[in-house]
Chains A and B, each alone.
Chain A
Amino acid sequence: MSVLAPFGGTPSPAPTPVIPGFGGGQSCVVKNGQFCAGWFADNFGSRFAPRLVEHIELTAIAVGVGMLIALAAALLAYRQGWFETPFTLLSAFLYTIPSLAFFELMVQVTGINRFTAEIALVSYTLLILFRNTLAGLRAVPPDALEAAQAMGLSRRQTLIRVELPLALPPIMAGLRIATVTTISLATVAAYIGAGGLGEPIFDGIQTGFKTEFIAAGVLAIALALVADGLLVVAQRLLTPWARHRRA
């Protein structure tokens, strides 16, 4: 633990008074009320919007890179069955590491920065994305594959035109879970200086200023809901056949 100690603090500036002065004398802020809407409105642009953008970037990069790795791994496991077990074990192992410990461990390798945070965040997406992608590929109806083969489609054409589109629903389901989890986990990444909505949360906890961490927390939840909603819309657009069924 002594090794970890130098990194134990938050990256926020020197200790602030228990009730910070940035309220401009509003009584809610002075009293440290549950949620000071006026203060939030005044400070959204300067304090929250940049963190929100960082949070979206953190999540998008983590899920995007995670999806690419998981897709490549799932394709390999789909063609070469032996690969499934080692990759599942690896991604499951990564998934079980407590997030704070993971961030701390990676800091020793790659330092205090966003890259370090992304490595950890990507690792957490792998298990769900890999499993869902592989399950999706394996659930492609064998008769569709036989038809593709009999029509003279090459393996590559079959993959692009038949297998991947048909695997989309489970892949999208995996993406939704991975995205929502990553948004939640990414708040912890502020601990190692990755920015994002975790910063005002840690700050608020440190200073005891309720409005700050409640606002950041609610923003993170809202972001998760919006992202999930967007993915649902994307899935409906990408899989129009799923809605057209005989009654």
Chain B
Amino acid sequence: MVSGEDMQVAATRSTTTAAPIVFQGVSKRYPGRVQAAVENLSFEVPSGEICILIGPSGCGKTTALKMVNRLIPMTDGDITIDGKSVNAMEVSQLRRGIGYVFQQIGLFPHLTVEDNIGTVPRLLGWSKARIRERALELLQLTGLGSEDNLRRYPGEFSGGQQQRIGVARAMAVDPPIMLMDEPFGAIDPITRDRLQDDFLRLHREVRKTIIFVTHDIDEAIKMGDRIAIMRDGRLVQIDRPDNLLAAPADEFVADFVGADRGLKRLRVWTLNDLKLDPFSGTMHPAAPASTSLRDALSLMLTAGATRVTVLGQDGAALGCVSLQAIAAMLGPEPRTPGP
């Protein structure tokens, strides 16, 4: 992916592509304001990873995101995609190679779902048949797959369904990069949880490089391969979720991730990540190996038990995990999860 044209070629092959994004000393200053909206931001998002930008309102996270597809022009520094500066690309080519999903969704109310998804493909001169095929494929990928839905209008769908269509539209030409600005922020908690799960599943299939803005630390921990915490336009800390929770760089980060950061951290791991004690044969509350440590802890505490039986996919007991083992994960010395 070197030029916009190459992006399109990559897109038309419909193979999954991704490209690293690098911020190099990026700043944004508005005339007449003393404080920069974004100050000397440098970090890298490796190919195929989800990088979360998080921080309090006004910290510059959305500004940073929008500088990638040049919805906001940067004042200083550079952003490169696969080694190529975004400023060196023709702006419409650049944008067509970047999927953009945002909180207000922004579906075109006057176009059918098919035409919404087909907007960029049509600009690129795809045939009608190919657009239809791609639209249907994307609807199936985002969990709305039915031919009837192609002919319906956005107004006929719920908010959660609309954002699924929004994600499908952003992926229409299989861009290597996606920018997501609080994509699930306006959606009710239950639907949001499902959308997050489905999106993670989708991401495992079609590895894109994603920058994802949120103000919800739980969402950040769940969705992020890396979390970048911002404050007053500066990057405070960028790390993997478990490291961030285990070793906040300063009081601000510790405060931001919350006093319950230990419990949050338990969500990062599943029972699968622990070394299992042999199955003792006594009755304990049971949970599948894919259960998060946080849920396993909750299970033990509600059942008044000190151990939980870990079940394999076939439902057979694999072994046990003790309360102490879970507590040890949060010990003063951060441990790497076994085995």
Chain A residues within CB distance 8 Å of chain B: 141-154, 157, 161-162, 165-166, 168, 239-241, 244-246
Where chain A touches its partner, the secondary structure class is: helix
25 pairs across A/B with beta carbons < 8 Å? A144-B108, A145-B106, A146-B71, A147-B107, A149-B71, A149-B95, A150-B71, A150-B179, A151-B95, A151-B96, A151-B120, A152-B91, A152-B95, A152-B96, A162-B108, A162-B110, A166-B108, A168-B110, A240-B153, A241-B110, A241-B111, A241-B153, A241-B155, A245-B155, A246-B157
Query: Contacts A245-B156, A246-B158 known; A152 to B106 CB distance under 8 Å?
Result: no
Q: Is B292 an interface residue (CB 8 A)?
A: no
Chain A residue numbers with a CB within 8 Å of B179 are 150
Chain B residue numbers with a CB within 8 Å of A153 are 92, 119, 123
A161 to B119, CA, bound (A): 9
Whether the Cβ atoms of B106 and A144 lie closer than 8 Å is: yes
Q: How many A-B residue pairs have CB under 8 A?
A: 78
Interface residues on B, range: 20 to 34
Chain A residue numbers with a CB within 8 Å of B123 are 152-153, 157
A143 to B119, CA, bound (A): 15
Chain A residue numbers with a CB within 8 Å of B93 are 152
A241 to B156, CA, bound (A): 9
A143 to B107, CA, bound (A): 8
**Of B98, B109, B156, the contact of A141 (CB 8 Å cutoff):** B109
CB-nearest residue of chain A relative to B122?
Answer: A161
Q: Tell me the residues in window 45-98 of chain B with beta carbons closer than 8 Å to chain A beta carbons.
A: 69, 71, 91-96, 98
Chain A residue numbers with a CB within 8 Å of B153 are 240-241, 244
Whether the Cβ atoms of A152 and B94 lie closer than 8 Å is: yes
Q: Is B256 an interface residue (CB 8 A)?
A: no
Q: Is B104 an interface residue (CB 8 A)?
A: yes
Chain B residue numbers with a CB within 8 Å of A162 are 108, 110
Shortest beta-carbon distance, B168 to chain A, in Å? 13
Whether the Cβ atoms of A246 and B155 lie closer than 8 Å is: yes
Shortest beta-carbon distance, B186 to chain A, in Å? 11
Whether the Cβ atoms of A146 and B92 lie closer than 8 Å is: no
CB-nearest residue of chain A relative to B95?
Answer: A152
Q: Is B102 an interface residue (CB 8 A)?
A: yes
Chain A residue numbers with a CB within 8 Å of B110 are 162, 165-166, 168, 239, 241
A244 to B111, CA, bound (A): 11
Shortest beta-carbon distance, A201 to chain B, in Å? 42
Query: Contacts A151-B100, A153-B123, A166-B109 known; A244 to B152 CB distance under 8 Å?
Result: yes
Chain A residue numbers with a CB within 8 Å of B92 are 152-154
Shortest beta-carbon distance, A143 to chain B, in Å? 4
Shortest beta-carbon distance, A68 to chain B, in Å? 22
CB-nearest residue of chain A relative to B94?
Answer: A152
Q: Is B105 an interface residue (CB 8 A)?
A: yes
CB-nearest residue of chain A relative to B155?
Answer: A245
Chain B residue numbers with a CB within 8 Å of A149 are 71, 95
